[in-house]
Chains A and B, each alone.
Chain A
C-alpha cells in the first residue's frame, strides 16, 4: 500500500505563482484524477512531486516520510513512477534494453539480462501488459510503446504511478485497454494520479477528482458525485459550452484531391495512398485518425509545403501546378498548422510581425517597392489583436511569450483576415483550454457559415462530432469514404481509426 500526501505546496516563477498552497492525497488502491486547463499548474505540481522542481513552501510525504526536495532519485526510490505524455524510449533498442537502460551499474562488468528478462515477464504477466521483450521499440504501435513506458516504471518498483495525459496518442480502443490495465494495477494496491483535461475519461477511470485552476485547488469531488458539466465548470470557473454546427447545405467544390499519393522513404510504405477527397463551400470535412497515419503529409500538401508524387489537386476546378506556400496563399488557402511554435509563428519576432507575415508581400503593407509601412502594419495588427482578443503585453511582445491559446488566436486572426476560400485546420484546438476551444470552434463555424470550405484534421472525436459535417478516417495513408457525421457515431469511427475499415465499407 502506498500513501502519498502533498502538503501545501507553493511554487513561484518570478511573479507567476504556478502552485498556490496545493494539497493532494492519494491512498493505495485509488485513482485520483488531476484536472485543470493548460497552465493550471498540473505539470508543475507533478514535477515537484517527482523532484524536478523544489517547492518554495510545502512538502511531499510518502508513507508518512517526507521526501527530500529536489531529488528525483529519492522519489523513484520511494516508489514514484512517471509516465510522460511524450514517450522517453529509444526506438532503435529492444523493449528489454529500454527497460534496463539506466538501472544497471556503470561499473559492473556483468549484465543481468537474464534476471531482468524474468522480472519483466513476471511484471507483464501480473499486470497483463503483454509485449515481446526482444521487439524493437521502433516497430511497436503507440499503444504498445505506452505499455513499455508503464513497464519501465513498474520495473523500477513504482507503487505510485503518475500518468500525464496518457490517452493523447491512443485510439479509443487502446484507451479502453489502458483503463483495464490501470484497474488491474489499482486492484493490486497501487495508487495512480491521472492527469487529463478529457472529462469523459476522468469520469470513467478515477475515484476522486482534484481540480486545479490558476495554480490553486478549487475543488475536490468523488467521481460518483460528479458529471461532465460540473467538472467543466469547476475547471474553467464559469459555464462553458462548445458551439454546435447548425445544418447548412454545402455549396460548390473548392478543393478536390484526386488519387493523391506521397511516397515514403525507400522501402517504406506509402505515406498517402491514392487519397481522393472533395471539400465544398459551407462545409467542414473532418479527417479522423490516430497520429502518424498520413495526416502530416496531407496537411503539408494542402499548405503548399510538399509536392504530391502522384494524383492531382484541383482548386475551384483548376489543377494546381506550383506547390509553394506563397502560391497557396494567393489561391485563398488559409492554414492553421499543427505546430504553433515550429510552423505557425516565429517565436523571436514580435506579435505584429507574425500577424502580418502572410500578408507582407501584398500592397498596402509596403511602400516604395520594399520598405515596410510600419504604420499600416501596426494599425492592422492592433485591429486584429482587438478583434480576436489576443492577450499580450502589447504588439511588440515577442511571440514566444504568448500562451498557447493566444498564439492560436494569433494564427486564426492571420488566417481569417485574409478572407480565405478554404481553411486547413490541423489540430486547431490541441492543448487549448475549454474557453479557447469554444472560441476557435466558433470562428471556424462562422467561416463555414460565410462560405468557406474547411478541412479539419483531428484526433479528438468529440471535436469532430461537434463541428464537422462529414468525416473520413485515415489509416496507413489510405482514406475511408466520407461519412455524414449525423448518420454515424463515435464507436464506428473509433473502430475505423484502429484499422477496421471493412466493417464499414
Chain B
C-alpha cells in the first residue's frame, strides 16, 4: 500500500471527506451504544434532540459553542504557523481573571464601553500568559508544547489560590468564587429567557476577522509562510521571531476572550470550574476544521452539540455522558484520516 499525492484536489472532495468521516465515527460509536444494551437510533435521536431539537436546545448548544469558537480560533491561528499553543486553558483563565479584576467594580463605564473594554482586557491578559513561552522559544528555543501545557496547571493553581484568598467574594458564603461582574459588564442575552449572550456574535465576528487577516493581509501571508516552511520564509526576508510573537499574541488573545464570554456572559463570576476543558477542546475544534477560521465556527457548534446533546441522551437512556468524549475523539481521528485521503490517494499493490 502506498500513498501518492493528488495533483488536483476537488472542492467536493474537501467537503465530502470530513462529512463521511464523521458519519463513520458515529457508526463506530453505535457499537459502544449497543454494548450498553440501548437502541442506537433512540440514543442518537435523544442526542440530536438535546442538541438542536428545540429553541432551548439550540440556545444551549450555541452558548456552549461560544468559548469553543474562541479557543478553536486560538489553536487554528497558532497551529497554522506551527506554533503549538496547548495552553489555551490557562490563557482562558487569565482572561477570566482580567474580567474579574477589572469588571467587578473597580472600573465602571456604560455597557457600550464596558463590554469592549473587558474583551480587550481579556485578550491582553491571554496574550500576556503566552509571553513567557514565546520568549523562551525565540531566545532559547525551548519547546512551546511543554511550556504552554505546563503553564496551564500553574495558572489553574494560581487562580485556585486567588479564589481561596485575595479574590474570594466575602458574600459567597464560603464558596471559592470571585465577586460578580457588575451589571454594565454583563453580556446581554441574545434570546430572551435563554443563556445565549452576545458573546456568540463576538465569536462569529472574530472568526470572520481572523479569516480575513489570514487571507488578505501580509501578516496572514507571513504566518502561512512561516508555518509551511520557516526556513524558506526566513530566506525570503520574513522575521520568524516577529511572526511567532504576532501569532502568540493573537492566539493567546483569542483564548483570553473565551474567559470573558464565560465570566461576563454565561456564569457571571469566576469559579474554578469555569471551563470544563474548553482550552483543550479548542484543539479538537481546530483540527476538525482543518485549521480554517470559518470552519472553526461549524466544528465548534458541532462539538458543542455533541456535548450538550449527550447530556440529555444520558438523562433519557442509560448511557454515561462520557460517550461524548469518545465521540469527539473518534470524530477528530476519523476527520484527520479523511483529510489525509483528500491530499493523497492510496495505491494497492
Chain A residues with a Cβ under 8 A of chain B: 13-14, 54, 70, 303, 305, 324-326, 329, 335, 337, 342-349, 353, 357-358, 360-361, 366, 370-372, 374, 401
Check B218–A360 contact: CB distance below 8 A.
yes
6 closest cross-chain pairs (CB), A and B: A326-B237, A357-B236, A348-B228, A346-B229, A325-B237, A346-B228
Contact A345 B232 (CB under 8 A): yes
Interface secondary structure of B, over-half rule: helix
Q: Assess whether B194 is interfacial by the CB under 8 Å rule.
A: no
Across the interface, name the chain A residue whose C-beta is closest to B218. A370
A305 B235 Cβ-Cβ under 8 A: yes
Residues from chain A with Cβ under 8 Å of B239 in the complex: 324, 326
**A371 pairs with B217, CB closer than 8 A:** yes
Q: Write out the residue numbers on chain B whose beta carbons fall within 8 Å of the beta carbon of A343.
A: 231-232, 235
Determine the chain A residues whose CB is within 8 A of the CB of B228 once the complex forms. 346-349
Give the complex CA separation of A366 and B222 in angstroms: 14
If the complex has contacts A324-B239, A370-B219, are A348 and B229 also in contact, measured as CB distance less than 8 A? yes
A–B pairs, 23, beta carbons within 8 Å: A14-B4, A303-B235, A305-B235, A326-B237, A337-B235, A342-B232, A343-B231, A344-B232, A344-B235, A346-B225, A346-B228, A346-B233, A347-B229, A348-B229, A349-B225, A353-B221, A360-B221, A370-B217, A370-B218, A370-B219, A371-B218, A372-B218, A372-B221
B224 & A335 in contact (Cβ 8 Å cutoff) = no
A residues less than 8 Å from B4 (CB atoms): 13-14
Closest approach, in angstroms, between the C-beta of B89 and any C-beta of chain A?
A: 30
Q: 0/1 per residue, B1-17, Cβ < 8 Å to A?
A: 00010010000000000
CB of B234 within 8 Å of the partner chain: yes
* CB–CB A371/B235 < 8 A: no
Identify the closest chain B residue to A327 (Cβ): B237
Provide the residues of chain A in CB contact with B349, threshold 8 Å.
54, 70
Q: Which residues of A contact B238 (CB under 8 A)?
A: 326, 357
A395 to B231, CA, bound (A): 22
Shortest Cβ distance from residue A203 to the other chain B in the assembled complex, whole angstroms? 37
Q: How far is the CB of B109 from chain A (nearest CB, A)?
A: 30
**Contact indicator B236/A358 (Cβ below 8 Å):** yes
Q: How far is the CA of A189 from the CA of B331 in the complex (A)?
A: 60
Tell me whether A361 and B232 are in contact (CB under 8 A).
no
Interface centre among B7, B225, B236, B239 (most CB of A within 10 A): B236
Residue in B7, B216, B229, B235 whose beta carbon sits within 8 Å of that of A325 in the complex: B235
Contacting residues of chain B (213-254) with chain A, CB-CB under 8 angstroms: 216-219, 221, 224-225, 228-229, 231-239
Shortest CB-to-CB span from A48 to chain B, Å, is: 12
Do residues A305 and B234 form an inter-chain contact, with CB atoms below 8 A? Answer: yes
B-chain residues with CB within 8 Å of residue A370 when the two chains form the complex: 217-219
**What residues on A are CB-neighbors of B219 within 8 Å?**
370
Residues from chain B with Cβ under 8 Å of A374 in the complex: 216
Nearest chain B CB to A255 CB, angstrom units = 18
Shortest distance from the beta carbon of B241 to any chain A beta carbon, whole Å:
10
Q: Shortest beta-carbon distance, A416 to chain B, in Å? A: 15
Q: Which residue of B lies closest to A344 (CB)?
A: B232
Alpha-carbon distance between A353 and B135 when the two chains are bound, in angstroms: 30
Complex Cα distance A54/B221, Å? 41
In the assembled complex, the Cα of A325 lies from the Cα of B229 at a distance in Å of: 15
Kindly state the separation between the CA atoms of A357 and B231 in the bound complex, as whole angstroms.
13
Task: Mark B75-106 against chain A: 1 for CB-CB distance below 8 A, else 0.
Answer: 00000000000000000000000000000000
Q: Name the contact of B7 in the complex, choosing from A14, A305, A329 (C-beta under 8 A).
A: A14
A345 to B7, CA, bound (A): 18
Select A372's contact among B217, B233, B237, beta carbons within 8 Å: B217
Determine which residue in B7, B233, B237 has the highest number of CB atoms from chain A within 10 A of its CB, and name it: B237
Q: Restricting to B130-173, which residues have a CB under 8 Å from any CB of A?
A: none
Q: Are A361 and B229 in contact (CB under 8 A)?
A: no
- Chain A residues contacting B231 (CB-CB under 8 Å) are 342-343
In the complex, which residues of chain B have a beta carbon less than 8 angstroms from the beta carbon of A325?
A: 234-237
Bound-complex Cα distance A187 to B32 (A): 69
Assembled-state Cα–Cα distance A374/B212 (Å): 13
How far in angstroms is the closest Cβ of chain B from A156? 25
CA distance in complex: A315, B69 (Å): 51
Q: CA separation between A324 and B218, bound complex, in Å?
A: 19
Chain A residue at minimum C-beta to C-beta distance from B2: A53
Check A358 against B237 for contact (C-beta < 8 Å).
yes
Q: Mark B160-200, 1 if CB is under 8 A from A, else 0.
A: 00000000000000000000000000000000000000000
C-alpha spacing A14/B6, complex, angstroms: 9
A358: chain B residues at CB < 8 Å are: 236-237
Q: Complex Cα distance A191/B311, Å?
A: 72
| A58 → B minimal CB distance (Å) | 15
Name which residue of chain B comes closest to A366, CB basis. Answer: B218
Q: A342-B231, A343-B231, A345-B232 are in contact. Are A357 and B225 (CB under 8 A)?
A: yes
Instruction: Name the CB-closest residue of A to B224.
Output: A349
Distance A346 CA – B221 CA, assembled complex (angstroms): 11
A456 to B233, CA, bound (A): 23
Q: List, in ascending order, chain B residues with CB within 8 A of A353's CB.
A: 221, 225
Complex CA–CA separation, A303 to B228 (angstroms): 20
| Contact status A361-B218, CB under 8 Å | yes
Whole-angstrom distance between the alpha carbons of A348 and B7 in the complex? 12
CA distance A54 to B234 in the complex (A): 41
Choose one: A329, A366, A371; the contact of B237 (CB below 8 Å).
A329
Q: Measured between alpha carbons, how far is A303 from B217 in the docked complex, in Å?
A: 26
A residues in contact with B225, CB < 8 Å: 346, 349, 353, 357
Determine how close the nearest CB of chain B comes to the CB of A130; give it in whole angstroms.
39
Whole-angstrom distance between the Cβ of B329 and the nearest chain A Cβ: 27
Decide if B235 touches A361 in the complex (CB within 8 Å). no
Contact among A14, A54, A70, A342 with B229 in the assembled complex (CB-CB below 8 Å): A342
Closest residue to B7 on the A side, CB-wise?
A401
Q: Which of A13, A14, A342, A371 contacts B216 (CB 8 A)?
A: A371
A346-B218 contact, Cβ under 8 Å, with A14-B4, A326-B237 = no
CB distance from A477 to the nearest CB of B (A): 23
Least CB separation from B230: chain A residue: A346
Closest to A337 in B: B235
Residue with the greatest number of chain B CB neighbours at <10 A, chosen from A324, A343, A347, A374: A343
Q: Taking CB as reference atom, which chain B residue is nearest A345?
A: B232
CA distance in complex: A346, B222 (Å)? 11
The CA of A112 and the CA of B56, in the complex, are separated in Å by 75
A13 CB to nearest chain B CB (Å): 7
- Assembly CA distance A337 to B231 (angstroms): 11
Task: Name, among B4, B221, B231, B235, the residue most crowded by chain A CB atoms within 10 Å (CB to CB).
Answer: B235
Q: A357-B232, A357-B233 are in contact. List 9 more A-B contacts (CB 8 A).
A: A14-B7, A324-B237, A324-B239, A345-B232, A348-B229, A361-B237, A371-B216, A372-B221, A374-B216
The interface residues of chain B lying within 8 Å CB-to-CB of A345 are 229, 232
Q: How far is the CA of A329 from the CA of B236 in the complex (A)?
A: 8
Chain B residues contacting A371 (CB-CB under 8 Å) are: 216-218
Closest beta carbon of chain B to A9's beta carbon, Å: 15
Residues of chain A within 8 A (CB-CB) of B224 are 349
In the bound complex, CA of A153 to CA of B221 (Å): 48
Complex contacts, B235 vs chain A, CB 8 Å: 303, 305, 325, 335, 337, 343-344
Chain A residues within 8 Å of B237, by CB: 324-326, 329, 357-358, 361
Within the complex, the shortest CB–CB distance from A397 to chain B, in Å, comes to: 9
* A348: nearest chain-B partner, CB-CB: B228
A269 to chain B, nearest CB (A): 25
Compute how far the CA of A353 lies from the CA of B238 in the bound complex, rounded to whole angstroms. 14
